Structure 1
Amino acid sequence: MSLESVRAWFAQHAPDIAVEESTMSSATVPLAAEAYGVPPAQIAKTLSLRVGERVVLIVTSGTMRLDNKKAKALLGGKPKMLGVHEVADLTGHEVGGVCPFGLKAPLPIYCDVSLKAFDVVVPAAGSTHSAVRIAPQRMAELVGAEWVDVCEDRSAPAQP
């Protein structure tokens, strides 16, 4: 169902973008990078978070992690990852296929500035075996996302 909702969403909003399917799982950043032939940083992962009663999505580079202090300041409360069943219930997408496209219901979407390092990023497309290739700016425009700085680089050494 979820892959179909993403296909339908692109057919309506960006018919020039094709959903790609892989025989390999792309449920994690390393698997997605291998399946679609890009570096892990170029995978656009979508985090599903609850802040108080609100649910939000944050799309970020695959090698970044959420900076809790930055996210709390932006969102007005401590963000908590949704559970597996909550993710599917609220987004319509299974974990590993969550993306900002074809959502079950509208949700606030934020794109982390880490995505701007790439001409094209590869977010999931509703299943653990599908993705799209899209310019980060176009993705943000299509889904009505706000650009934010809420992540830190996983590969960077920890600050003292």
Structure 2
Amino acid sequence: MSGGSVERVRAALLAAGHGDTVQAFPEGTRSAAEAAAAVGCEVAQIAKSIVLRGGERAVLVIASGANRVDMAKVAAATGFHVKRADGSWVRDVTGFAIGGVAPLGHISPPPVLVDEDLFRFERVWAAAGSPRHVFATTPAELLRLSGGTRADVKESA
């Protein structure tokens, strides 16, 4: 399934006028720490996709890999009562397995929030459809590609 998911992301990137910056890492990029180690960047530069459940609707939060997501901030920003989603529901609704959820190319595009903290960086990396694929982009492009809204989603210390 991951091959089709990666190709769906690649096609969505190209259709949006973004270069094909998808890279494969056989050792895996399932967690933000693994992805940062694979690409050689700070954990905070990993744009991790967190899928939350807002009723029957997916809500996608693209968070800095260094941050925990504050559910109350997400609920306030989206108007959805959100809760954690299980892996099988995420796959059914987005078409991606956990660890490979991309910010674009979803079966049904969800409302998207993009973590304000990602905008401190020139370059960020996001999942590209599988737990072994990521793509490089800029925070501004990530916002454009995902159709998202910039938001403060970080859990306070």
Unmatched 5+ residue regions in structure 2? none
Task: Report what 2:122 is aligned to.
Answer: 119
Distance 1:98 1:148 in 2: 19
Unmatched 5+ residue regions in structure 1? none
Q: How does 1:1-160 map to 2 (within 5 A)?
A: 1-152=4-155, 158=157
Count of aligned positions: 154
Alignment check: 8 A CA contact 1:17 1:134 kept: no
Cα shift at 1:76:
2.9
Question: C-alpha root-mean-square deviation of aligned residues, in Å?
Answer: 1.5
Which has more radius of gyration?
Answer: 1
Alignment check: 8 A CA contact 2:13 2:145 kept: no
How high is the sequence identity, in percent, across the aligned residues?
Answer: 36
SS in 2 for 1:66: coil
Q: TM-score, normalised by structure 2?
A: 0.91
Alignment check: 8 A CA contact 2:26 2:132 kept: yes
Cα shift at 1:151:
1.2
Cα shift at 1:15:
4.4
Seen in structure 2, the aligned counterparts of structure 1 residues 77 and 144 have a Cα distance that, compared at 3 Å, is closer
Distance 1:34 1:139 in 2: 21
Q: Which runs of 4+ in 1 moved over 3 A?
A: none
Q: TM-score, normalised by structure 1?
A: 0.89
